[in-house]
Amino acid sequence: LCREALAWRQLRHPCIVPFLGLYQDCDLRSSVCMISPCMRGGNLSTHAERERERLHLLPVIRDILEGLCYLHGQHYVHGDLRAVNILLDENGRAYISDFGLISLLDQIHDKSTKGRGNPRWTAPELFESDFKRTFSTDMYSFGCLCLEIITLKPPFYEIPRDCSVIACLLKG
């Protein structure tokens, strides 16, 4: 949580959800919340299901790509790019959110940055024992996200279990 907040608060781009601050409940010391503006459009997954015909796909894809290019320009790997992590404002503008797996490219080997996003959007090489997240693995996730935006179906939607998706990816 600390790494996520430290990275997120430095990011300033029109296609990145703004970081407004942290809140800790004094009664529940372990309860810390990160605060961002309300995104009335919800996440891309639920928005697309409700209003597919009103959602302009190319501007949404462009917004996501611009935000991702900005992250990469700052030497950050997002690590968990998928529709539920893309928020929309009331005008349909897309914002990248959820920086729980974010890491600086030169700190990828640090144990604190290890972890994978959801297997359906994860590059196959990340399931090997010596995996490293890179800009390329983010781009793989971006490709899966574009497929999801266009088809309204998550990658490997026909495979019910995540462990079967991983087996499929490892098989090639």
Q: Determine which one of 63, 80, 98, 138 is catalytic.
A: 80
Please, are residues 86 and 96 in contact by the beta-carbon 8 Å criterion?
Answer: yes
Taking the C-alpha atoms of 103, 117, 36 and 75 in order, what is their torsion angle to the nearest 10 degrees?
20
Q: Is residue 80 annotated as a catalytic residue, yes or no?
A: yes
Q: Which helix (H) or strand (E) holds 24?
A: strand 21-24
CA distance 122 to 142: 10
Active site residues: 80
